[in-house]
Structure 1
């Protein structure tokens, strides 16, 4: 009997945690979102860099609660609600942005690694379907989720959640309210490939797209846990909320259980009142099938000037340096070049 119980515990532990955590962003070490204010370029502490946000206090853009996590994610004590409101403009840009970046020196951009997170929306403060949203993206946009109407696409709105590689949709599903989408990006930085794992609710991750070729460029400090919304004329800002859970990066074998590493055999987190449901996903069977092609986001040409630069102004690394209606600094700091991302946005890289 004792042997059977021990075997069951071992089997459960192995099924929950299969890999080695390189960076843990599950908000377990934060008492509230105000802890993010402790981080600065001169005091790089905590699990996240916090500098891409609007001008209001941190609680306007990031809030933590057990009610904000996937109930099946028992490895997380709480989840995060990340918000875009009418003040969420960073550093003079014309795009709304609220993003957190891993604070770590671990090799999250080496070898084969898995970037985990769960994402959910509600009908209250739902993301607009009439604007493109870039979610959980890298600076070079070699892989990311997208929602809403894709820039340059026909039509007016789009209700799908998409996984994209270099701007091309490789998987998509209807983004319904109160459904937790559990995701792992399978990234091989040596082989320059990226694959996609997904499930909903409490279901274990399953491979939806096998690894395909991608320009897997990352300096280890450019994965954005959050959202960037591209502007679109004629569509006013509305408040939007995005719910995040189970954010971590691992190497070795993939953890497919949504409970996550460190959750224990029966789970350790308190239950929540969140409503969840499971939906079927639409997948693309081969890497050569593309449902929608967004405007290119990986070209490295310099953007044409669209406005006059303020005098004596220099844009720092990662900052915007050009784009339609942009009026901020257009000269990048020494060592960086203004690179075209899209018509609305160029960046010092």
Structure 2
């Protein structure tokens, strides 16, 4: 009896500990050209790629193992995001290259953590005389910034609702590891930060915020606002370890699936943990007593410029010409239920069930099934 209780408790703990809701670590991409397979009519891959200039994708987005934080052993490669004089989207004066999560997972519900690492280099370094918006939400309730229009600011700044809450000097070649702690229900945000291979610590917050997102309006990349004396040439920004998780915060820079500096495995997703527990348990039957489609999403609008809200979200494969920074958002379709998953979270276990049946049932009951 004790063994059964211990296994049950281990399974519950594994299921509820950590879950990657959306994985944007580029591990399954061969090159940045894979991003071009995505369109509004063919929503494949981890990212939406439509905010960029008129050049080839290799002008703006490139993948390489040398672009990742070397401490992040869970990532096979990182991404170099480039802006230059051609990176003007739909005739706008801003320079921008951005990737949007492609997912129907609940990355805009409850308490979640948006993870990424960011750095610059001495080559193609960004100018500090222009405001840069980095890893931002469309409504700008939280974001990173660099530089300042009309002056100069060499600090990486964390903003909440347009107000700087924390900053640190941005030094070329130094990785900054970030996790936005966002509680969409409570309306609050906090910042977890470290550099290099150090574990994340909470450095600011929580602060009240208008936490609004439709799940397709977080911009991984950079937007540079124009100024009266814009510098010419390209700017490079590097990102690594990009994912969104729920449950407990992963503080190790070695993202789930990797190993930390001690060689110990980094925390895995709840699915992997549950599988590990199940694999170590007998699969023999155990006796026991029985015990919506996604809503249409509308664009959110930037508070940094005047906006004219659109009457509806686009439903065609080509993005319409926006008049503002408003993100073009496609209405997601619901994922088809897995054949092995229970019909609903209220389904009871049968008289005889395996450990795997129990895992599936527990994940459904705790709401831990990934919808990515």
TM-score, shorter chain, exceeding 0.5: yes
Could you tell me how far apart the structure 2 residues matched to 1:82 and 1:227 are? 8
- Residues 142, 165 of structure 1: 8 Å contact kept: yes
Could you tell me how far apart the structure 1 residues matched to 2:57 and 2:305 are? 33
* Unmatched tracts of structure 1, length 5 or more: 1-9, 269-296, 304-315, 324-329, 333-349
Partner residue in 2 for 1:172: 167
- Residues 74, 255 of structure 2: 8 Å contact kept: yes
Of 224, 227, 232, 1:237 maps to: 232
More strand by share: 1
| Deviation of the 1:233 alpha carbon | 1.8
How many residue pairs match? The answer is 269
* Unmatched tracts of structure 2, length 5 or more: 1-9, 266-301, 309-317, 329-372
Partner residue in 2 for 1:124: 123
- Residues 307, 324 of structure 2: 8 Å contact kept: no
Question: CA 1:194–1:79 in structure 2 vs 1: closer, same or farther (change >3 Å)?
Answer: same
Superposed counterparts of 1:62-77, under 5 Å: 62-77=61-76
- Residues 119, 176 of structure 2: 8 Å contact kept: yes
Question: CA 1:62–1:300 in structure 2 vs 1: closer, same or farther (change >3 Å)?
Answer: closer
Could you tell me how far apart the structure 2 residues matched to 1:267 and 1:47 are? 28
Residue 113 of structure 1 aligns to a residue whose secondary structure is strand
Partner residue in 1 for 2:58: 59
Could you tell me how far apart the structure 1 residues matched to 2:143 and 2:223 are? 11
Partner residue in 2 for 1:50: 49
- Listed one character per residue, the Cα deviations across residues 168-196 of structure 1 (whole Å, up to 9, x for unaligned) are 00010110011000000000000000000
CA-based RMSD of the aligned residues comes to 2.7
Q: Normalised by the size of structure 2, how large is the TM-score?
A: 0.68
Q: Normalised by the size of structure 1, how large is the TM-score?
A: 0.72
Residue 37 of structure 1 aligns to a residue whose secondary structure is helix
- Residues 116, 247 of structure 1: 8 Å contact kept: yes
Could you tell me how far apart the structure 2 residues matched to 1:318 and 1:136 are? 23
Superposed counterparts of 1:93-242, under 5 Å: 93-149=92-148, 151=149, 156-242=151-237
- Listed one character per residue, the Cα deviations across residues 129-185 of structure 1 (whole Å, up to 9, x for unaligned) are 000000000000000000011x4xxx6211110000011000101100110000000
Residue 140 of structure 1 aligns to a residue whose secondary structure is coil
Question: CA 1:250–1:237 in structure 2 vs 1: closer, same or farther (change >3 Å)?
Answer: same
Could you tell me how far apart the structure 1 residues matched to 2:74 and 2:305 are? 40
